[in-house]
Amino acid sequence: MTEQKTAIVTGASRGIGHAVAQRFRNLGWRVITVSRGALPQQCPWNAELNTHVQLDLSNLDEITKTVAALRPCWEAPNCMHW
């Protein structure tokens, strides 16, 4: 059985980041999206296969906390609900 690949895409709430996340999703990858804001309503992300993390990458403390929270989820694709 082929293991599903995971892509972490920053800036995914709009523009190029959004398009990149959509492309990986269309290719069957599990997509973890990261952006400062919530994803727009029109984003077609499937909550069971894809995850969004609202995170300001300019805040080092926030990054550290988020990475710590994400670690247990690498093996459990449905565990994150942000």
Q: What is the pLDDT of residues 28-71, one digit of tens each?
A: 888 888 888 777 666 665 555 557 888 888 999 988 888 877 77
Range(s) of the domain holding residue 68: 6-73
Inside any domain, residue 20: yes
Residues 4 and 29 sit within 8 Å (Cβ to Cβ): yes
Predicted local distance difference test score (pLDDT) of residue 56: 87
Q: How many domains does the chain have?
A: 1
Inside any domain, residue 1: no
Inside any domain, residue 79: no
Predicted local distance difference test score (pLDDT) of residue 34: 83
The DSSP symbol for 3 reads P
Question: What is the pLDDT confidence band of residue 16, given thresholds at 50, 70 and 90?
Answer: very high
Predicted local distance difference test score (pLDDT) of residue 23: 92
Predicted local distance difference test score (pLDDT) of residue 27: 92
Reference 77, options 48, 45, 53, 39; nearest CA is: 48
Residues across the chain: 82
Reference 46, options 78, 82, 71, 6; nearest CA is: 78
Average pLDDT over residues 16-30: 89
- Say what the alpha-carbon torsion angle 65, 12, 39, 66 is, to the nearest 10 degrees: -10
Inside any domain, residue 82: no
